[in-house]
Structure 1
């Protein structure tokens, strides 16, 4: 509160009396605006920025005009619990608040970080969904019956062995007729990916359909009107096509799973698969490749048994 007798005191008094409180100078909106100009924000990868933006939009709506100094650990936990129905987002809230509070400490707005140490929520067992790997019959059905754009998306998914968020980023300049190059959104890792025969054929068909030589910066995945395909649009048209073909159980992320399995079935080591997929740890490779290797070893054992 400003000193009594000043114009500022008079303004604050009438705002409180009428219920019209001005946004605090140390509000969450002000903090988030300043954070977005900092090296903390500028150094983030694009994918991380997208995730953080969603949480900050939520925070602006719920507490944007409130004073940062009023935050308590109980507030953080309450916000997390209020979003427990979407576990991943709920766990992003304390993570984002920790980062923002660290920035507030740097600005001198806080002396300590009340968001630190809040435990992450666990996804309930009933809501955990495994990505079912695409079996051979489903792969053959999709390749023989899918429309051209879904088929191209499919081949990029299996052939590149990348995360779906990276598929929409490919440009014609990334394709040299044999390989695709990219910088992964999640890891910021640069990669050169030799194309499978099926992926090369799909890319060549799409390139020929453009007529003239494609502009290097033009997206490979495009709508009929020439606009780039967004992740959401890609997910929608793939879901529609999978439903049409009776393959709804096998999703986009499972195409990466399928790609890893194919590499494993051809005898690739974990290191060789990681060089293709860009996995930072071996745990997911072991998970994805394990079933394929079991099948391969069983077939080898059956041959010996004969």
Structure 2
């Protein structure tokens, strides 16, 4: 109940800011003040509503910590103080990492307001979490696409094949529209990537064109739909349609259960196809900028993915020798 009240208060304050008002309450040197001023920054306002809600959820943990520790003065917090808070999430490494990101942004407000000259969160180092991502291979794609058809989810089969080829953010892919983001006649995706704001045109294979033509039936606005409900993998929040991860995850779970009935099939996640696309493009000999232009990752993100997941195998070695002109490409 306390969390619900806090979330409602945060929403109320955001609405006041959008209407030109000011949040209520004393402007003391506290986390409450920092969080209020952070929500008024252009950086926060420009975030997508989905991202804002995610940050607000994490801020709740920070507010709980502040209350439990007697509302400490953020101008006097030290690195050990913050490390002690983050250590309470050692059993949840993803939450710990995200909390550090949000806490850094909140504490940046203390610097911007002139309360302090440093941000102690910047000096906290966290080791990279152990990778649990498995890279999809061509055989996996075929098995899961077959399974999607078998359970009556042809749009999920199309989604899997599309992600294998162009590796987009799933929250963008769920909302692809026919004739706007995907042009069936040209066999090409044309859209603005959500984070880089780059406009791209990505042609796809004849096979994927045929599959997408099959699911792009007349009268459909969105490219991908759940066969059980007939609705796109999206939900209306206010007056804005956003991707619905829950509905898509349920559909994919049925597909995975069917795929695992095949001998040798691996248990995979749909979101891993994005990293897999990066790896497969690199294996094909694409440069980092070429990969980033397709998947929408930053250059740095592509390099990090390849550093962590790209096998230094015979395929990569052969591509290198072909590029040097030492051998001919068998293909």
Q: Report the TM-score, using the length of structure 2 for normalisation.
A: 0.67
Q: Secondary structure at the match of 1:170?
A: coil
Q: Which residue in 1 is equivalent to 2:40?
A: 37
What does the per-residue CA deviation read over 1:147-178, in whole Å, with 9 as the maximum and x for residues that have no partner?
31321221231122223343224233211112
Q: Which consecutive residues of structure 2, in runs of 5 or more, have no partner in the other structure? A: 1-24, 235-242
> Which of 106, 109, 127 matches 1:100?
106
| Post-superposition offset of 1:232 | 3.4
| Post-superposition offset of 1:93 | 2.6
Greater displacement, 113-122 / 147-156:
113-122
Q: Which residue in 1 is equivalent to 2:244?
A: 230
Using the alignment, how far apart are the partners of 1:238 and 1:244 within structure 2?
Answer: 10
Task: State how 1:1-306 maps to structure 2 within 5 Å.
Answer: 25-26=27-28, 27-44=30-47, 49=52, 51-63=54-66, 66=71, 68-69=73-74, 72-73=77-78, 74-107=80-113, 110-113=115-118, 115-123=120-128, 128-146=130-148, 147-172=153-178, 173-177=180-184, 178-208=187-217, 211-212=218-219, 214-215=220-221, 219-223=222-226, 224-227=229-232, 228=234, 229-246=243-260, 247-264=265-282, 266-281=284-299, 283=303, 284-285=305-306, 287-288=309-310, 290-291=312-313, 293-294=315-316
Cα 1:263–1:101 change in 2 (3 A) is closer
Using the alignment, how far apart are the partners of 2:277 and 2:113 within structure 1?
Answer: 47
Q: Which consecutive residues of structure 1, in runs of 5 or more, have no partner in the other structure? A: 1-22
Using the alignment, how far apart are the partners of 1:293 and 1:279 within structure 2?
Answer: 23
Using the alignment, how far apart are the partners of 1:292 and 1:180 within structure 2?
Answer: 32
Q: Secondary structure at the match of 1:193?
A: strand
Cα 1:67–1:291 change in 2 (3 A) is same
Q: Report the TM-score, using the length of structure 1 for normalisation.
A: 0.71
2:58, 2:99 within 8 Å by CA — same for their partners in 1? yes
Using the alignment, how far apart are the partners of 1:53 and 1:81 within structure 2?
Answer: 20
Using the alignment, how far apart are the partners of 1:92 and 1:35 within structure 2?
Answer: 16
1:87, 1:121 within 8 Å by CA — same for their partners in 2? no
| Post-superposition offset of 1:30 | 3.9
In terms of fraction of residues, the more helix-rich structure is 1
Using the alignment, how far apart are the partners of 1:268 and 1:85 within structure 2?
Answer: 38
Using the alignment, how far apart are the partners of 1:163 and 1:61 within structure 2?
Answer: 32
Q: Secondary structure at the match of 2:200?
A: strand
Cα 1:143–1:113 change in 2 (3 A) is same
